[in-house]
Amino acid sequence: MEYNITLIKGDGIAEEIANSVMQIIEKAGVKINWDIQLAGAKVVEDEGSPLPQRVLDSVRKNKVALKTPVTTPIGKGFRSVNVQLRKELDLYANLRPCKNIDGIKTPFNNVDIVVVRENTEDLYAGIERKIDDESAESIKIITKKASKKIAKFAFDYAIKNERRIVWAVTKANICKLTDGLFLDCCREISKDYPSIEYKEILVDNLCMQLVQNPDKFDVLVLPNLYGDIVSDLTAGLIGGLGVAQGANIGEEYAVFEPVHGSAPDIAGMDIANPTALILCAVEMLKYLNEYPAANKIEKALYKILKEGRIKTPDLGGHSKCSEFTKEIIKNIN
Ligand code: NAI
Protein backbone atom coordinates (compact mmCIF):
# COMPACT_ATOMS: atom_id res chain seq x y z
CA MET A 1 0.00 0.00 0.00
CA GLU A 2 1.23 3.47 -0.91
CA TYR A 3 0.09 6.70 0.72
CA ASN A 4 -0.04 10.31 -0.35
CA ILE A 5 0.55 12.37 2.78
CA THR A 6 1.03 16.09 3.23
CA LEU A 7 4.18 17.07 5.08
CA ILE A 8 3.79 20.61 6.37
CA LYS A 9 7.32 21.90 6.66
CA GLY A 10 7.50 24.90 8.96
CA ASP A 11 10.31 26.92 10.49
CA GLY A 12 13.26 26.56 12.84
CA ILE A 13 14.04 22.90 13.52
CA ALA A 14 11.33 21.71 11.09
CA GLU A 15 13.77 20.67 8.37
CA GLU A 16 15.99 18.59 10.70
CA ILE A 17 13.23 16.68 12.43
CA ALA A 18 11.25 16.14 9.21
CA ASN A 19 14.29 14.60 7.54
CA SER A 20 14.77 12.31 10.50
CA VAL A 21 11.19 11.06 10.38
CA MET A 22 11.06 10.57 6.62
CA GLN A 23 14.17 8.35 6.76
CA ILE A 24 12.79 6.35 9.69
CA ILE A 25 9.43 5.67 8.02
CA GLU A 26 11.18 4.63 4.83
CA LYS A 27 13.31 2.12 6.76
CA ALA A 28 10.18 0.74 8.41
CA GLY A 29 8.93 -0.16 4.93
CA VAL A 30 5.93 2.10 4.44
CA LYS A 31 5.85 3.79 1.06
CA ILE A 32 4.78 7.40 1.41
CA ASN A 33 4.66 9.96 -1.37
CA TRP A 34 5.26 13.09 0.67
CA ASP A 35 3.46 16.15 -0.62
CA ILE A 36 5.79 18.71 0.93
CA GLN A 37 4.12 22.04 1.67
CA LEU A 38 6.14 24.92 3.11
CA ALA A 39 4.38 27.07 5.69
CA GLY A 40 5.08 29.58 8.42
CA ALA A 41 7.27 32.66 8.66
CA LYS A 42 9.46 31.70 5.73
CA VAL A 43 6.62 31.85 3.16
CA VAL A 44 4.99 35.05 4.40
CA GLU A 45 7.11 37.37 2.32
CA ASP A 46 6.45 35.61 -0.98
CA GLU A 47 2.91 34.43 -0.43
CA GLY A 48 1.45 36.96 1.98
CA SER A 49 0.31 34.38 4.53
CA PRO A 50 1.98 31.83 6.81
CA LEU A 51 -0.72 29.34 5.79
CA PRO A 52 -1.27 29.68 2.05
CA GLN A 53 -4.38 28.11 0.53
CA ARG A 54 -2.27 25.44 -1.24
CA VAL A 55 -1.41 23.91 2.18
CA LEU A 56 -5.09 23.51 3.09
CA ASP A 57 -5.87 22.17 -0.41
CA SER A 58 -3.14 19.57 -0.04
CA VAL A 59 -4.45 18.33 3.33
CA ARG A 60 -8.01 18.25 1.93
CA LYS A 61 -6.78 16.15 -0.97
CA ASN A 62 -4.58 13.75 1.01
CA LYS A 63 -6.74 13.65 4.19
CA VAL A 64 -3.71 13.03 6.43
CA ALA A 65 -0.81 15.34 7.27
CA LEU A 66 2.31 15.28 9.37
CA LYS A 67 3.06 18.78 10.55
CA THR A 68 6.30 20.26 11.83
CA PRO A 69 6.20 23.46 13.90
CA VAL A 70 5.77 26.85 12.34
CA THR A 71 6.61 30.29 13.61
CA THR A 72 3.62 32.60 13.64
CA PRO A 73 4.88 36.12 12.96
CA ILE A 74 4.08 38.20 16.04
CA GLY A 75 2.21 41.48 15.79
CA LYS A 76 1.68 41.38 12.02
CA GLY A 77 -2.03 40.65 12.15
CA PHE A 78 -1.77 36.96 11.18
CA ARG A 79 -3.87 34.40 12.97
CA SER A 80 -1.90 31.49 14.38
CA VAL A 81 -1.32 28.91 11.65
CA ASN A 82 -2.24 26.18 14.08
CA VAL A 83 -5.51 27.76 15.16
CA GLN A 84 -6.43 28.47 11.54
CA LEU A 85 -5.58 24.95 10.37
CA ARG A 86 -7.66 23.38 13.10
CA LYS A 87 -10.57 25.66 12.38
CA GLU A 88 -10.49 25.39 8.57
CA LEU A 89 -10.31 21.59 8.59
CA ASP A 90 -12.61 21.19 11.58
CA LEU A 91 -9.97 19.24 13.49
CA TYR A 92 -12.09 19.36 16.59
CA ALA A 93 -10.09 16.99 18.80
CA ASN A 94 -6.57 17.57 20.00
CA LEU A 95 -5.13 14.39 21.42
CA ARG A 96 -2.00 14.41 23.56
CA PRO A 97 -0.99 11.11 25.11
CA CYS A 98 1.67 11.51 27.84
CA LYS A 99 3.31 8.35 29.10
CA ASN A 100 6.68 7.86 30.80
CA ILE A 101 9.45 6.65 28.52
CA ASP A 102 12.10 4.32 29.96
CA GLY A 103 15.45 6.08 30.04
CA ILE A 104 14.02 9.58 30.41
CA LYS A 105 14.40 10.59 34.02
CA THR A 106 11.48 12.52 35.49
CA PRO A 107 10.22 13.05 39.05
CA PHE A 108 7.48 10.44 38.48
CA ASN A 109 7.62 7.08 36.75
CA ASN A 110 3.96 6.20 36.59
CA VAL A 111 2.47 8.83 34.31
CA ASP A 112 0.02 7.58 31.69
CA ILE A 113 -2.39 10.38 30.88
CA VAL A 114 -4.26 11.22 27.71
CA VAL A 115 -5.32 14.84 27.24
CA VAL A 116 -8.32 15.33 24.95
CA ARG A 117 -8.63 19.03 24.23
CA GLU A 118 -11.52 20.71 22.39
CA ASN A 119 -9.84 22.45 19.50
CA THR A 120 -12.24 24.85 17.82
CA GLU A 121 -13.82 27.25 20.30
CA ASP A 122 -13.49 28.73 23.81
CA LEU A 123 -11.23 31.81 24.01
CA TYR A 124 -9.48 30.59 20.84
CA ALA A 125 -12.46 31.65 18.73
CA GLY A 126 -10.41 34.82 18.27
CA ILE A 127 -13.22 37.24 19.09
CA GLU A 128 -11.38 40.01 20.86
CA ARG A 129 -11.64 43.76 20.83
CA LYS A 130 -10.10 46.77 22.38
CA ILE A 131 -12.73 48.69 24.29
CA ASP A 132 -10.64 51.80 24.89
CA ASP A 133 -7.05 52.65 25.78
CA GLU A 134 -7.52 51.16 29.22
CA SER A 135 -9.32 47.90 28.44
CA ALA A 136 -9.92 45.03 26.05
CA GLU A 137 -12.21 42.01 25.99
CA SER A 138 -12.21 38.49 24.60
CA ILE A 139 -15.26 36.30 24.15
CA LYS A 140 -15.35 32.72 25.36
CA ILE A 141 -17.57 30.60 23.14
CA ILE A 142 -18.76 27.19 24.28
CA THR A 143 -21.44 25.33 22.31
CA LYS A 144 -23.39 22.19 23.05
CA LYS A 145 -22.52 20.77 19.66
CA ALA A 146 -18.73 21.05 20.07
CA SER A 147 -18.79 20.02 23.74
CA LYS A 148 -20.80 16.86 23.07
CA LYS A 149 -18.59 16.00 20.13
CA ILE A 150 -15.38 16.24 22.17
CA ALA A 151 -16.90 14.36 25.11
CA LYS A 152 -17.96 11.56 22.77
CA PHE A 153 -14.45 11.53 21.26
CA ALA A 154 -12.92 11.14 24.75
CA PHE A 155 -15.22 8.27 25.72
CA ASP A 156 -14.78 6.51 22.37
CA TYR A 157 -11.02 6.86 22.77
CA ALA A 158 -11.27 5.42 26.29
CA ILE A 159 -13.19 2.39 25.03
CA LYS A 160 -10.91 1.78 22.05
CA ASN A 161 -7.74 2.10 24.13
CA GLU A 162 -8.98 0.22 27.18
CA ARG A 163 -8.77 3.19 29.56
CA ARG A 164 -10.73 3.24 32.82
CA ILE A 165 -11.71 6.79 33.72
CA VAL A 166 -12.66 9.97 31.86
CA TRP A 167 -12.25 13.17 33.87
CA ALA A 168 -14.11 16.30 32.75
CA VAL A 169 -11.99 19.34 33.63
CA THR A 170 -13.50 22.83 33.91
CA LYS A 171 -13.77 25.95 36.01
CA ALA A 172 -17.54 25.60 36.14
CA ASN A 173 -17.69 27.07 39.64
CA ILE A 174 -16.72 30.44 38.14
CA CYS A 175 -17.63 30.25 34.45
CA LYS A 176 -21.04 28.89 35.30
CA LEU A 177 -22.70 29.29 31.90
CA THR A 178 -19.83 28.41 29.55
CA ASP A 179 -17.93 25.74 31.49
CA GLY A 180 -21.24 24.75 33.05
CA LEU A 181 -22.55 23.91 29.58
CA PHE A 182 -19.39 21.93 28.77
CA LEU A 183 -19.84 19.96 31.98
CA ASP A 184 -23.54 19.26 31.32
CA CYS A 185 -22.60 17.86 27.92
CA CYS A 186 -19.90 15.59 29.42
CA ARG A 187 -22.37 14.33 32.02
CA GLU A 188 -24.95 13.57 29.35
CA ILE A 189 -22.50 11.75 27.06
CA SER A 190 -21.01 9.78 29.99
CA LYS A 191 -24.37 8.03 30.45
CA ASP A 192 -23.86 6.27 27.11
CA TYR A 193 -20.63 4.67 28.37
CA PRO A 194 -21.45 2.74 31.55
CA SER A 195 -18.21 0.72 31.37
CA ILE A 196 -16.08 3.88 31.74
CA GLU A 197 -15.96 5.65 35.08
CA TYR A 198 -16.79 9.37 34.82
CA LYS A 199 -15.30 11.98 37.17
CA GLU A 200 -15.14 15.76 37.35
CA ILE A 201 -12.43 18.09 38.65
CA LEU A 202 -11.74 21.83 38.62
CA VAL A 203 -8.73 22.80 36.54
CA ASP A 204 -6.78 24.49 39.37
CA ASN A 205 -7.16 21.47 41.61
CA LEU A 206 -6.17 19.23 38.69
CA CYS A 207 -2.93 21.16 38.19
CA MET A 208 -1.97 20.80 41.82
CA GLN A 209 -2.75 17.09 41.87
CA LEU A 210 -0.96 16.45 38.57
CA VAL A 211 2.31 17.52 40.16
CA GLN A 212 1.64 15.48 43.30
CA ASN A 213 -0.12 12.28 42.18
CA PRO A 214 -0.16 12.10 38.39
CA ASP A 215 -0.84 8.36 38.47
CA LYS A 216 -4.36 9.09 39.68
CA PHE A 217 -5.35 10.46 36.25
CA ASP A 218 -6.31 8.72 33.07
CA VAL A 219 -8.20 10.40 30.16
CA LEU A 220 -8.83 14.13 30.65
CA VAL A 221 -11.36 16.03 28.53
CA LEU A 222 -11.11 19.83 28.57
CA PRO A 223 -12.22 23.00 26.80
CA ASN A 224 -9.59 24.55 24.53
CA LEU A 225 -7.67 26.93 26.83
CA TYR A 226 -7.37 24.62 29.84
CA GLY A 227 -6.44 21.80 27.44
CA ASP A 228 -3.63 23.87 25.96
CA ILE A 229 -2.14 24.67 29.36
CA VAL A 230 -2.65 21.29 31.00
CA SER A 231 -1.17 19.41 28.04
CA ASP A 232 2.10 21.35 28.40
CA LEU A 233 2.08 20.49 32.09
CA THR A 234 1.61 16.78 31.34
CA ALA A 235 4.35 17.03 28.67
CA GLY A 236 6.62 18.33 31.42
CA LEU A 237 5.78 15.31 33.57
CA ILE A 238 7.23 12.91 30.98
CA GLY A 239 10.38 14.81 30.05
CA GLY A 240 9.38 17.97 28.24
CA LEU A 241 8.55 19.25 24.83
CA GLY A 242 11.10 17.17 22.94
CA VAL A 243 9.14 13.98 23.64
CA ALA A 244 5.54 15.21 23.64
CA GLN A 245 3.41 14.12 20.70
CA GLY A 246 0.05 15.38 19.54
CA ALA A 247 -2.64 14.89 16.93
CA ASN A 248 -5.50 17.01 15.65
CA ILE A 249 -8.34 14.85 14.50
CA GLY A 250 -11.61 15.64 12.76
CA GLU A 251 -14.24 13.61 10.99
CA GLU A 252 -12.55 13.91 7.60
CA TYR A 253 -8.94 14.86 8.22
CA ALA A 254 -6.12 14.21 10.67
CA VAL A 255 -3.01 16.30 11.25
CA PHE A 256 -0.29 14.81 13.46
CA GLU A 257 2.04 17.34 15.10
CA PRO A 258 4.35 17.60 18.07
CA VAL A 259 3.49 19.87 20.98
CA HIS A 260 6.72 21.85 20.75
CA GLY A 261 7.35 24.95 18.66
CA SER A 262 9.98 25.77 16.05
CA ALA A 263 12.78 26.13 18.64
CA PRO A 264 14.56 28.99 16.86
CA ASP A 265 17.29 28.99 19.55
CA ILE A 266 18.64 25.63 18.31
CA ALA A 267 17.59 25.71 14.65
CA GLY A 268 20.17 24.49 12.14
CA MET A 269 22.47 23.09 14.85
CA ASP A 270 21.49 19.44 14.33
CA ILE A 271 20.72 19.03 18.03
CA ALA A 272 16.89 19.04 17.99
CA ASN A 273 15.23 16.01 19.49
CA PRO A 274 13.08 14.36 16.82
CA THR A 275 11.36 12.04 19.33
CA ALA A 276 8.08 13.97 19.50
CA LEU A 277 7.71 14.02 15.72
CA ILE A 278 8.69 10.33 15.51
CA LEU A 279 5.95 9.50 18.04
CA CYS A 280 3.51 11.57 15.96
CA ALA A 281 4.52 9.54 12.92
CA VAL A 282 3.94 6.34 14.89
CA GLU A 283 0.40 7.49 15.74
CA MET A 284 -0.12 8.46 12.11
CA LEU A 285 0.91 4.98 10.96
CA LYS A 286 -1.50 3.44 13.46
CA TYR A 287 -4.24 5.73 12.14
CA LEU A 288 -3.44 4.32 8.68
CA ASN A 289 -3.59 0.79 10.15
CA GLU A 290 0.13 0.28 9.49
CA TYR A 291 0.61 -1.33 12.90
CA PRO A 292 3.65 -3.54 12.12
CA ALA A 293 5.70 -0.54 10.91
CA ALA A 294 4.48 1.63 13.79
CA ASN A 295 5.47 -1.04 16.31
CA LYS A 296 8.91 -1.50 14.74
CA ILE A 297 9.65 2.22 14.97
CA GLU A 298 8.34 2.48 18.52
CA LYS A 299 10.45 -0.50 19.61
CA ALA A 300 13.65 0.92 18.08
CA LEU A 301 13.02 4.42 19.48
CA TYR A 302 12.30 3.17 23.01
CA LYS A 303 15.34 0.88 22.90
CA ILE A 304 17.68 3.77 22.06
CA LEU A 305 16.12 6.06 24.65
CA LYS A 306 16.32 3.35 27.32
CA GLU A 307 19.98 2.60 26.58
CA GLY A 308 20.71 6.30 26.88
CA ARG A 309 24.03 6.12 25.01
CA ILE A 310 22.85 8.38 22.25
CA LYS A 311 20.61 11.23 23.23
CA THR A 312 20.12 14.85 22.30
CA PRO A 313 21.15 17.73 24.63
CA ASP A 314 17.58 18.46 25.80
CA LEU A 315 17.66 15.00 27.43
CA GLY A 316 21.07 15.58 28.96
CA GLY A 317 23.06 13.97 26.12
CA HIS A 318 25.57 15.23 23.58
CA SER A 319 24.37 13.58 20.38
CA LYS A 320 23.21 15.14 17.18
CA CYS A 321 19.73 14.71 15.79
CA SER A 322 21.26 12.93 12.79
CA GLU A 323 23.22 10.47 15.01
CA PHE A 324 20.12 9.66 17.03
CA THR A 325 18.20 9.10 13.78
CA LYS A 326 20.89 6.79 12.36
CA GLU A 327 20.86 4.72 15.53
CA ILE A 328 17.09 4.26 15.35
CA ILE A 329 17.31 3.28 11.70
CA LYS A 330 19.99 0.71 12.55
CA ASN A 331 17.63 -0.85 15.08
CA ILE A 332 14.56 -1.10 12.84
CA ASN A 333 14.38 -4.68 11.60
P1 NAI B 1 9.46 26.10 21.54
O2 NAI B 1 8.70 24.85 21.81
O3 NAI B 1 9.86 26.32 20.14
O4 NAI B 1 10.81 26.11 22.42
C5 NAI B 1 10.83 26.13 23.84
C6 NAI B 1 12.15 25.53 24.34
O7 NAI B 1 12.13 24.09 24.11
C8 NAI B 1 13.35 26.04 23.58
O9 NAI B 1 14.43 26.16 24.45
C10 NAI B 1 13.66 24.98 22.54
O11 NAI B 1 15.00 24.89 22.15
C12 NAI B 1 13.19 23.71 23.26
N13 NAI B 1 12.69 22.70 22.31
C14 NAI B 1 11.49 22.71 21.68
N15 NAI B 1 11.38 21.66 20.88
C16 NAI B 1 12.53 20.97 21.00
C17 NAI B 1 13.02 19.76 20.41
N18 NAI B 1 12.30 19.05 19.53
N19 NAI B 1 14.25 19.34 20.75
C20 NAI B 1 14.99 20.01 21.64
N21 NAI B 1 14.57 21.15 22.25
C22 NAI B 1 13.36 21.62 21.91
O23 NAI B 1 8.58 27.30 22.10
P24 NAI B 1 8.75 28.88 21.91
O25 NAI B 1 10.19 29.25 22.01
O26 NAI B 1 7.78 29.47 22.83
O27 NAI B 1 8.24 29.19 20.45
C28 NAI B 1 9.09 29.33 19.30
C29 NAI B 1 8.22 29.52 18.07
O30 NAI B 1 7.44 28.34 17.84
C31 NAI B 1 7.21 30.68 18.21
O32 NAI B 1 7.22 31.39 16.99
C33 NAI B 1 5.88 30.00 18.38
O34 NAI B 1 4.83 30.75 17.80
C35 NAI B 1 6.08 28.71 17.62
N36 NAI B 1 5.23 27.59 18.08
C37 NAI B 1 4.72 26.78 17.13
C38 NAI B 1 3.99 25.68 17.48
C39 NAI B 1 3.49 24.80 16.38
O40 NAI B 1 3.72 25.06 15.23
N41 NAI B 1 2.78 23.74 16.72
C42 NAI B 1 3.70 25.36 18.88
C43 NAI B 1 4.32 26.26 19.82
C44 NAI B 1 5.05 27.34 19.41
CATH of domain 1-99+238-333: 3.40.718.10
Residue 140 has pLDDT above 70, yes or no: yes
pLDDT band at 78 (very low <50, low <70, confident <90, very high): confident
Q: How far is the CA of 276 from the centre of ligand 1 (A)?
A: 12
Distance of CA 216 to the CA centre of its chain: 22
Q: How far is the CA of 182 from the centre of ligand 1 (A)?
A: 30
With the most atoms of ligand 1 within 8 angstroms of its CB, the residue from 76, 85, 256, 262 to mutate is 262
Percent of the chain with pLDDT over 70: 99
Contact between 69 and 226 (Cβ < 8 Å): no
Residues 222, 225, 228, 229, CA torsion sign? negative
pLDDT band at 241 (very low <50, low <70, confident <90, very high): confident
Distance between CA 117 and CA 221 in Å, rounded? 6
Contact between 287 and 127 (Cβ < 8 Å): no
Residue identifier of the C-alpha nearest atom 39 of ligand 1: 69
| Ligand 1 neighbour 257 (Cβ under 6 A) | yes
Residue identifier of the C-alpha nearest atom 6 of ligand 1: 263
| Ligand 1 neighbour 241 (Cβ under 6 A) | yes
* pLDDT (tens digit per residue) in 33-77: 999 999 999 899 899 999 999 999 999 999 999 999 998 777 666
Residue 240 has pLDDT above 90, yes or no: no
The stretch 155-164 carries a mean pLDDT of: 95
The stretch 86-92 carries a mean pLDDT of: 92
| Ligand 1 neighbour 260 (Cβ under 6 A) | yes
Q: How far is the CA of 63 from the centre of ligand 1 (A)?
A: 26
Q: Which amino acid is at 231?
A: S
Q: How far is the CA of 260 from the centre of ligand 1 (A)?
A: 5
On whether the pTM is more than 0.75, the answer is yes
CA contacts within 13 A on the Cβ side of 27: 22
| Ligand 1 neighbour 179 (Cβ under 6 A) | no
| Ligand 1 neighbour 178 (Cβ under 6 A) | no
What residues form DSSP beta bridges with 65? 6, 255
CATH of domain 107-111+124-220: 3.30.420
- The DSSP secondary-structure symbol of 79 reads P
pLDDT band at 124 (very low <50, low <70, confident <90, very high): confident
Parse the chain into domains and list their residue ranges.
1-99+238-333, 107-111+124-220
Write down the pLDDT at residue 155.
98
* pLDDT (tens digit per residue) in 284-293: 999 999 999 9
